[in-house]
Structure 1
Amino acid sequence: MPDNFGGEIAPMPVPPVGARLDLPEAGEWKRVSPKYVMVEIVGTIVFLLIVCAVTGFLWLVLEQDWALWVGGAVALITLISLVLEPRRVRSIGYQLRADDLLFRRGIMYQRFVSVPYGRMQLVDITRGPVARILGLADLKFVTAAASSGVAIPGLAEADADALRDRLVELAESRRAGL
């Protein structure tokens, strides 16, 4: 295929349809705690209960028949999501590489985010009520780019603390140019 300057451009290899994006040179993926499934399930059940309460109120008190159909559809989608929660949690992973942290998540729509250590401005640990009971925490990174907010959910508290300290150390060394 000729380029605009009269030379030839080698065709790019096209991966087969349905091929997964694996990064074999990147190393071993670390996964979040299996207990994180419970955090997601509890959150989904609370959402389902709220939908049922609002639907019941609209249908019984305000006599809005359409609310039953909308509430039923949202409840069905929520129940399907509940079944997929374990697989969704297993798809979350991260790697500490030489120059960056690589994060992935997603089943159908996989998202890979690379956060360079030198760009990290803040590493934050949050613990929700259910996660705190299970001894889990979320690690959040803030960079200069607003769209690159990354959070690794469902880490054991000790692992989250150790990873935060390691990332702060790496970020400071990269910013200092060492």
Structure 2
Amino acid sequence: MPDQSGRLDLAAGAGWQRVSPRYVVVEIVGTIVGGLLACAAAAALWLMFEFQWALYAGAGVAVIALVTLILEPRRVRSIGYQLRQDDLLFRRGIMFQRFVAVPYGRMQLVDITRGPVARWLGLADLKLVTAAATTGVAIPGLTEEDAESLRDRLVDLAESRRAGL
């Protein structure tokens, strides 16, 4: 809600909905698979063509993957959304925080996607598309029930706001 200065109240406890804690597993699996594939490619280059730099690149990828694994739980806890009177406010990020407000009347498509690991854990991603490409938002790691009820609510709100234009 705007305060007296006209700024948004972005406090951590001000009605933010968080994603499921199980979403950490999805992110960890993705990081491990990506890290292993990159390390395997670097090892293949080193073994097949004796590129010394590939060995160092593989070690660098392994270090980056390890740091990413350590930060993953905190990064997932930073993801949240708020349903406000006129818009949906989305946030994510630890060091580089991103806040996006999507007006209900500007929503053109609300989509639910499920990857294989997320589907196995009963999770889904909710994607909101607007006419402006920069304001598209994806809320990851919602339970399937939450994603479906949020989709239905957002579609109802978007239809009622567009009718009032």
Indicate which of 115, 131, 137 corresponds to 2:102: 115
Task: Find the aligned partners of 2:135 and 2:33 in 1 and give their Cα distance.
Answer: 29
Indicate which of 53, 64, 76 corresponds to 2:63: 76
SS at match of 1:34: coil
How far residue 78 of structure 1 moved from its aligned partner, in angstroms, is 1.4
Number of residues of Structure 1 aligned to a counterpart in Structure 2: 158
Give the ranges of 4+ consecutive aligned residues of structure 1 lying more than 2 Å apart after TM superposition: 21-24
- The structure whose Rg is larger is 1
Partner of 2:142: 155
Task: Find the aligned partners of 1:149 and 1:29 in 2 and give their Cα distance.
Answer: 19
Task: Find the aligned partners of 2:27 and 2:9 in 1 and give their Cα distance.
Answer: 26
Indicate which of 40, 59, 68 corresponds to 1:53: 40
Partner of 1:101: 88
% identical equivalent positions: 74
Instruction: Establish whether residue 173 from structure 1 lines up as the match of residue 157 from structure 2.
Output: no
Partner of 2:50: 63
**After superposition, what is the alpha-carbon deviation per residue over 1:16-46, rounded to whole angstroms, capped at 9, x for unaligned?**
xxxxx8525x941000000000000000000
SS at match of 1:81: helix
Instruction: Establish whether residue 31 from structure 1 lines up as the match of residue 56 from structure 2.
Output: no
TM-align CA RMSD:
1.6
Unaligned runs of 5+ in 1: 1-12, 14-20
Partner of 1:139: 126
Tell me the TM-score normalized by structure 1: 0.85
**After superposition, what is the alpha-carbon deviation per residue over 1:30-64, rounded to whole angstroms, capped at 9, x for unaligned?**
00000000000000000011011101100111111
